[in-house]
Structure 1
Amino acid sequence: MSQLNEGSDPPKTDEVSPIKSLQVAAEYGMDRLDVISYGFSDKIMILISKNGSLGKMYYIPLTGSPVQQYAFNTDSTGEDDDFSLLAPSHITPTPILGASHDDVEGHIYAAQIAALIGRQNPDERRLVVVGLPYLGPRTDNEILTMQARGLFLDILQLVSQVRIW
């Protein structure tokens, strides 16, 4: 086992990392959104930060129990298909950092991101880890504003741009 002395340079290597990553940034109003994807051999990690901060994380298996396990339906019945964007029932985000089971908005974001990955690559079976920023306070009775809907769709579009799956 080698020891690294404080103040010494780490060993240098010419090897390329086996971890694939892509990053994209966008301005949204007064905020900067950064989306970074990492492709590990057993996981896909999507980190979305707002002005450099991350608020909560979820993990989402793309495969469910044998009863739930089925291919993602990539066939749409048309542009008016209201159900084509819904996440399949086996996509169940589990909070792992900074979120609770009651965080509906975070669950929706995480499920939709995992479903997007599954729709874009139906053969993908890696675990998905999603990190989300704090998106602002909402009350239970608050109607989703057009700005919040726009942010949601913009984030999904940014995630599509860092596709490593």
Structure 2
Amino acid sequence: MAPPANLTFSTFPAPSKTVSNTIAGVPTQVTALNFSDKLVLTISQSGRLNHWLHVPLSGGRPLDNGFLNPSSETDVDASLLPFAHLTATTVLGGTRGEFEVLGQTLATTLATALLMRNPEEQRMVVLGLGLEKADQGREAFDELIGLCLECL
């Protein structure tokens, strides 16, 4: 019996990478699983994993080949902001508003980093989040992003 024409085979297990560090005094583990159609990132502190989001990358392209041009009229470097065309949607969990905002910001920031690295990226980004607290400060946010980028 021949396999269906639309079936794509990929290696199993999926390529993965895990990194760990202490962020804001809390042991943090980030794992990336690379599938042919999606990139699954999990961020876990103290074994938690309770909020899942996804960001489609294939839904449209921003202007100017995927890059934002910072305006000289503002003192904020727009190249550090997530792309405005990316939307993170909660798939599971997300019952606490402060984690919802943090999860959406993390997911769109990571999706932007992927598109800046490879503007042709089409996979969906799926982010599993399990943080001890939502308000860990700017430095902790930057460390979370850095830890995730080590996995990508």
Q: TM-score, normalised by structure 2?
A: 0.78
Conserved? CA contact 1:31–1:50, under 8 Å = yes
Matched, 1:90 2:85: yes
Tell me how far apart the structure 1 counterparts of residues 12 and 138 of structure 2 sit (CA, whole Å).
Answer: 37
Tell me how far apart the structure 2 counterparts of residues 113 and 34 of structure 1 sit (CA, whole Å).
Answer: 16
Equivalent positions of 1:73-112 (< 5 A) are 73=67, 82-100=77-95, 103-112=100-109
Tell me how far apart the structure 2 counterparts of residues 155 and 17 of structure 1 sit (CA, whole Å).
Answer: 28
Tell me how far apart the structure 2 counterparts of residues 135 and 115 of structure 1 sit (CA, whole Å).
Answer: 25
Q: 2:65 aligns with which of 58, 65, 71?
A: 71
Tell me how far apart the structure 2 counterparts of residues 70 and 129 of structure 1 sit (CA, whole Å).
Answer: 26
Matched, 1:160 2:149: yes
Conserved? CA contact 2:43–2:131, under 8 Å = no
Q: Give the SS at the match of 1:130.
A: strand
Distance 1:115 1:33, change over 3 A: same
Q: 1:148 aligns with which of 111, 119, 137?
A: 137
Bigger drift between 68-77 and 113-122 goes to 68-77
Q: 1:117 aligns with which of 109, 114, 118?
A: 114
Distance 1:101 1:82, change over 3 A: farther
Q: TM-score, normalised by structure 1?
A: 0.72
Q: How many residues align?
A: 138
- TM-superposed CA distance for 1:63, in Å, is 2.4
Could you tell me which residue of structure 1 aligns to residue 31 of structure 2? 36
Q: Choose between structure 1 and 2: higher helix proportion.
A: 2
Could you tell me which residue of structure 1 aligns to residue 56 of structure 2? 61
Query: What is the percent sequence identity of the aligned residues?
Result: 30
Amino acid at match of 1:153: D
1:3-35 C-alpha deviation (Å, 9 max, x unpaired): xxxxxxxxxxxxx62511001000124311100
Could you tell me which residue of structure 2 aligns to residue 23 of structure 1? 18
- TM-superposed CA distance for 1:74, in Å, is 7.4
Tell me how far apart the structure 1 counterparts of residues 21 and 79 of structure 2 sit (CA, whole Å).
Answer: 26
What 5-or-longer segments of structure 1 have no aligned partner? 1-15, 139-146
